[in-house]
Amino acid sequence: MLKKRSLSEKIKKLFGLGKTEDQLFDDLEEILIEGDIGPRVAMEVIDELKNRKNKSKIKTRDDYLSALSQLLSQYLLIDTLLPVKGRLNVFLVLGVNGVGKTTTIAKLAHYFKKHHGVGKILLSAADTFRAAAIDQLHLLGDQLGFKVISQEPGADPGAVIFDTLSSAEKRSSELVLADTAGRMHTKNHLVKELEKIDKIIRGKTNKSNYKKVLVIDATTGQNAYNQAEIFHNAIGIDSVILAKYDSTAKGGIVISICNGLKVPFSFMGIGEKPDDLVSFDKELYLNSLLGST
Ligand SMILES: Nc1nc2c(ncn2[C@@H]2O[C@H](COP(=O)(O)OP(=O)(O)OP(=O)(O)O)[C@@H](O)[C@H]2O)c(=O)[nH]1
Ligand SMILES: [Mg+2]
């Protein structure tokens, strides 16, 4: 929370201290890197700002801020994550421990039903690692009126997904949202398990209706990039959701992930309740990141 604030606070303080131009650019580059935007993007942005400054296109603090916002926005990749009506869609939800996967699944189900009339959504409790995870999904499903397909704790996650897909076919469901275990992504077995799940889904679903959705925690910095990279290398990520955006003014890592992995962001989680999910808002994000609101 402090770090997001501090990026915008630092940018505010950057101007008006009687700095030389070189100092200003050096400090700004450091602030951007510290804000998890990534060294390459920071360098490119600074180069372009210098270029514009030389051409006298930017003079005031507001000029700098709007140029910065415009330049950073070019790196952001935003995409709509929406099930195709009349088909079975499968969204496999991934992420490390505690980022907000299970909560996000409930929010997505609620969102697609409420705003897009998606029918007969099934939730798949393929996080069989912890008994509490299965109970948590059942509780959310009961609260919101979604059927949950589960097996016993410790069951093969691939088997749970297979069951869910069979059930979805019988019921003409339009969407399966599958929870997965958030065990440490560095463990080989997790990657292996994901590859197996991925193969099962690919065997039963049309490629274009299958999305692998990564959840990251907005309060996490560089480590979120490493997580995204590992999942992306393992099975390929189609979309990222930024959870816990309400808990922090941080989130520079979004730009770093878009630029480094070329994966788009679709939603942001803005609280713990079912309605606390909104489409990724580029303007809100940049204004909040740079403190330009
Ligand atoms: N403030 C806030 N809290 C959130 C948000 N999303 C999830 N949480 C909270 O984060 C905590 C973890 O969420 P879970 O959905 O259980 O996370 P998970 O990734 O499924 O966790 P594991 O199953 O243990 O790997 C819970 O207390 C959620 O209420 C959000 O957008 N904002
Ligand atoms: Mg969970």
Q: What is the DSSP string of 105-167?
A: HHHHHHHHHHHH---SEEEEEE--S-HHHHHHHHHHHHHHT-EEE---TT--HHHHHHHHHHH
Centre of ligand 1 to C-alpha 277, Å, is: 12
Quickly state the pLDDT bin for 29 (edges 50, 70, 90).
Answer: very high
Measured in degrees and rounded to the nearest 5, phi and psi for residue 248 equal -155, 155
CA 158, CA 39: separation in Å to the nearest integer? 39
Q: What is the pLDDT of residues 117-138, one digit of tens each?
A: 998 999 999 999 888 999 999 9
pTM of model > 0.85: yes
**CB distance 217 to ligand 1 below 6 Å:** no
Point out the least confidently predicted range of 55-64, 106-115, 123-132, 173-182: 55-64
pLDDT exceeds cutoff 80 at 250:
no
pLDDT band of 18, cuts 50, 70, 90: confident
165 contacts 204 by C-beta, under 8 angstroms: yes
CA of 181 relative to ligand 2 center, distance in Å: 7
Return d(Cα 35, Cα 38) in angstroms, integer.
8
100 touches ligand 1 (CB under 6 Å): yes
**Contact criterion met (CB below 8 Å) for 100 and 125:** no
Higher pLDDT among residues 176 and 12, named by residue: 176
DSSP 181-205: ----TTSHHHHHHHHHHHHHHHHHS
Work out whether strand 265-269 and strand 277-279 pair parallel, antiparallel, or are unpaired.
Answer: antiparallel
Angle subtended by helix axes 61-73 and 282-290, to nearest 10: 140
| Residues 216, 162 contacting (CB under 8 angstroms) | no
What is the percent of the chain with per-residue pLDDT over 70, rounded to a whole number? Answer: 95
246 lines ligand 1 (CB under 6 A): yes
- At residue 280, the 3 state secondary structure works out as coil
Residue 268 has, within 13 A of its CA and on its CB side, a CA count of: 20
Atom of ligand 1 nearest to the CA of 268: 31
**Cβ of 227 less than 6 Å from ligand 1:** no
The whole-number pLDDT of residue 125 equals 97
Atom of ligand 1 nearest to the CA of 179: 20
